[in-house]
A and B are shown apart, each in its own frame.
Chain A
Amino acid sequence: MDILPILSTLRRHKISALLVILEIALTCAIVCNAVFLITKRIERTHMPSGIAEHELVMLNIFGIGRDDNGAARASEDLALLRQIPGVKSVTLVNEVPFTNSSWNTGVSLTAEQKRSTLNATQYFGEHLIETFGLQLVEGRDFQPDEYMDFYDVQNSTKVRPAGVIITRSLAERLWPGQSALGKQMFLGDSSVRVVGVVAALIRPSIFGGDETAQWSMIFPLRMDTRYASRYVIRTAPDQRDRVIAAAAKALRGADPHRILFRKGTLDEERAKFFRNDVAMSGLLSAVCAALLIVTALGIVGLASFWVQQRTRMIGVRRALGATRSQILRYFQTENFLLSSIGIALGMLAAWGVSLALMQHYELPQLPLAYLPGGALALWLLGQLAVWGPARRASLIPPVEALRS
């Protein structure tokens, strides 16, 4: 296909041609970045939690008025919950993944250091590892005799937990390339040794950036109802609804003088936790679709105009022996040329937009791999849009050359 005649025709429609190029460039720049943002958001919703999500349910219940017998209340509740058929394991914990309420503290590597190295969350609860379904990758779980009452630790500066289990992500951040087992970490004025490492455990609220999402510590502390209100139960996935209902009934029956504040499966909590990301990726996808439609319609509109304007020229070419498919290909090539220039400019613009986003929204840089994808999408879009008008052009009979 000879490109020179196309170029000389385009030279006579400079403004229209420039507008098509500009539109394609802008669309390319926006769509590349938007698709990248969508991917990031969707990736985020798949963040691992480390827990046996499909097997867990949670009940958040607390007493009305003064609670002077929290330890007895907790052990009676736990015994009742264990009796429910289908319940594999139960724990009373201070915090639960995906529920946004968390207990956090500064962690240091030495006693002398003035500023803590990082901030991590603290999970407390007996049988927590077993109930959550965490995967130990190094060291051991706590021994039954290592558990202390949280109340005693809270009300004394001398009683301190016997050990800590941390996540692999936290271990690698604190002691890169080394085993964390037996290492000492400093929390405030006290220190504790690492006895075990779990593959993952997401923190309940991620406020310090996604890279801190797995910075969690587990302590051998037994909670009572004065300080903790969340029961987590592990059961089979198909038993969850029944277990929630039975657990709610058992807890209320044991002590009606309390309020069941929140209950549900961890799957539901996870969905709630990431719903803003899902909503944002939906919105971004809608805008991308709208952008592509508008751009396609613009190409259809302008191409139709050009076909109409060049009816006589097409007739002459047909009369001089050009075939239908040559006319068709003429308009397709023209569109390909314009798209290519637009895409080239669009890639530069996409890079620029990405730099601006990095500055203002703490996003990573647009990976280069997105650019060819965007280019391919716009080439295809252009060819699809121009197909109709180009086909109409190819159907113009040679006799049009005589009419004017």
Chain B
Amino acid sequence: MLGYYLELGLRSFRNARALTALMVISIAMGIGASMTTLTVLHVLSGDPLPDKSARLFYPQVDPQDADDYAPGDKPPAQVTWNDGMALLREHRGERQALMTGGGVPVQPDQASIDPFNVDARFTSADFFPMFEAPLRFGHAWTAADDDARARVAVISSVLNDKLFAGADSTGRTLRLNDVAFRIIGVLDAWRPSPHFYDLNMGGYSNNEDVFVPLATAHELHMSHNGSTDCWKEHSGESDAENAPCVWLQYWVELRSADQAAAYKDYLVHYSQQRKEAGVFQRPPNVALNDLNGWLDFNKVVPSDVRLQVWLALGFLIVCLVNTVGLMLAKFLRRGTELGVRRALGASRREIFKQLLVEAGAIGLAGGAGGLLLALGGLWLVRQQPSDYASLAHLDLAMLGLTFALSVGATLVAGLLPAWRACQVSPALQLKST
């Protein structure tokens, strides 16, 4: 029966080409706009480390002065050198890493390439296993390298391609800011998005090209990037060990999410100890977000993207209302044909089914058109200036959703016209012909 209904549907499309085309275009535009914006939202609100994000935490403590403290104030978004180092030494998680972004001049051996600046990450050994950074060649550094302030570097595959034409460069020398580093590892393609471990660099920025031990970078006074907040005046550099400034990110991996409460107690305890030692002045003020909690707290997904989704959904609704109207016109115009079918014995139910099959077919065609429009829309998004632009690609899940949404929405839009059209009384329609 389904095949017959489809055939009837196709015939009716041929009879009302303009009306059918209008409906398909209308659905396609609504679906295309919705899928474009939903795909962008989907990509941007993705979990960068789905299998362990619930176990990764971002601890915060509050080392600021007491005089401007009001209960309920949030602790600073980053940690000081001293706190970061103390937490790292006390080693209360499975893994932990202290880090900051930086910029370093790279001085290639080849005379053909001028020195250039790259984004760098200065961090500690656990960074790589904790964030599951994949290595193409070599290995990451160890805690012993951190302690020894070893002059070792892990580089990105992009930099490796640029300097060593993609060959295994481990063991070779890389000159950074006039200092020779030994390359010990080359990362595979890796771009966690959002750039969760340091949101100061832009929520969706590219990965750094050079990774060196934090202690080494600090000793060499490599310049750090990102946000530095000082809560009182001080002389000297803001990244000095005792400076009243927060500028480092600290991440910890716990064995299970259940241990978060215990770790938070530890942070309170740590703050109390510091206060007793006269270093902290405020009452213990700590926070411990897991990875996704931290992304939510920082409102990483741009509000423009959410606004675009609402706009597109509004557009889709208008397109659907439009389709309901057109479908109603189309079905009612076929009163005679439907009347004949009723007179020949087709039940109302069967007519209803027939019309819904037709609606579904329009939905499928609209979905296909919508898919093309969404691909075009995403291409347009990729031409945009934002740092997330290059991430906007359709995946299989969104492809499936396009068709499901399209057919589903058109069927819903078809319910009213189909119900209305199958109310025709066979006799009346036959008489008027």
Contacts and interface: CB of A to CB of B under 8 A. Distances in A.
A287 B315 contact: yes
B6 interface: no
A22 interface: yes
A275 interface: yes
B328 A287 contact: no
B115 A297 contact: no
B268 interface: no
Contacts of B18: 301
Contacts of A284: 311
Interface string B272-310: 000000000000000000000000000000011011100
B422 to A, nearest CB: 14
Q: Secondary structure at chain A's binding surface: helix, strand, loop or mixed?
A: helix
A16 B235 CA distance: 75
Contact of A16 (B22, B307, B329): B329
Contacts of B105: 62, 64, 259
Interface stretch (A75-83, A288-296, A325-333): A288-296
A259 B116 contact: yes
A34 B318 CA distance: 15
A157 B221 contact: no
A115 interface: yes
B314 interface: yes
B322 A23 contact: yes
Contacts of B221: 66
Interface string A305-322: 100110000000000000
A309 B336 CA distance: 13
A361 B307 contact: yes
Interface string B63-105: 0000110000000000000000000000000000000000001
Contacts of B233: 157, 188-190
Interface of B is mostly: helix
B384 A297 contact: no
Given A155-B236, A297-B26, A19 B328 contact: yes
B325 A23 contact: yes
Interface in A92-122: 114-115
A132 to B, nearest CB: 25
B390 interface: no
A235 interface: no
Contacts of B319: 294
A290 B33 contact: yes
B11 interface: no
B378 interface: no
B324 interface: yes
Contacts of A301: 18-19, 22, 322, 325-326, 329
B317 interface: yes
Contacts of A261: 117
B384 A302 contact: no
Interface residues of B, number: 53
A203 to B, nearest CB: 15
B356 interface: no
Interface-central residue, B29, B33, B177, B329, by most chain A CB under 10 Å: B329
Sorting the interface of chain A by its residue count into under 10, 10 to 19, 20 to 34 or 35 or more gives: 35 or more
A357 B221 CA distance: 47
A300 B21 CA distance: 13
B322 A297 contact: yes
Interface string B362-403: 000000000000000000000011100000000000000000
B178 interface: yes
Contacts of B321: 19, 22-23, 26, 298
B232 interface: yes
Contacts of B318: 23, 26-27, 30, 291, 294-295
B322 A34 contact: no
B330 to A, nearest CB: 8
Residue from the set A66, A295, A305 with the largest chain B CB neighbour count within 10 Å: A305
Given A114-B67, A188-B232, A291-B318, A272 B115 contact: no
Interface string B312-353: 101101110110111011101100000000000000000000
Contact of B325 (A29, A114, A298): A298
B238 to A, nearest CB: 10
Contacts of A34: 311
Interface in A141-179: 154-157
Nearest to A29: B314
Contacts of A357: 307
Contacts of A185: none
A233 B305 CA distance: 38
9 contacts: A23-B325, A26-B317, A157-B234, A261-B117, A275-B385, A276-B385, A280-B304, A287-B312, A301-B325
Q: Which 7 A-B pairs give the minimum distances between C-beta atoms? A: A65-B178, A305-B329, A298-B322, A188-B233, A19-B325, A114-B68, A275-B385
Interface of A: 15-16, 19-20, 22-23, 26-27, 29-30, 34, 37, 62, 64-66, 114-115, 154-157, 188-190, 259, 261, 272, 275-276, 279-280, 283-284, 287, 290-291, 294-295, 297-298, 300-302, 304-305, 308-309, 357, 360-361, 404
Interface of B: 18-19, 22, 25-26, 29-30, 33, 67-68, 105, 107, 114-117, 177-179, 221, 232-236, 303-304, 306-308, 311-312, 314-315, 317-319, 321-322, 324-326, 328-330, 332-333, 384-386, 416, 420, 432
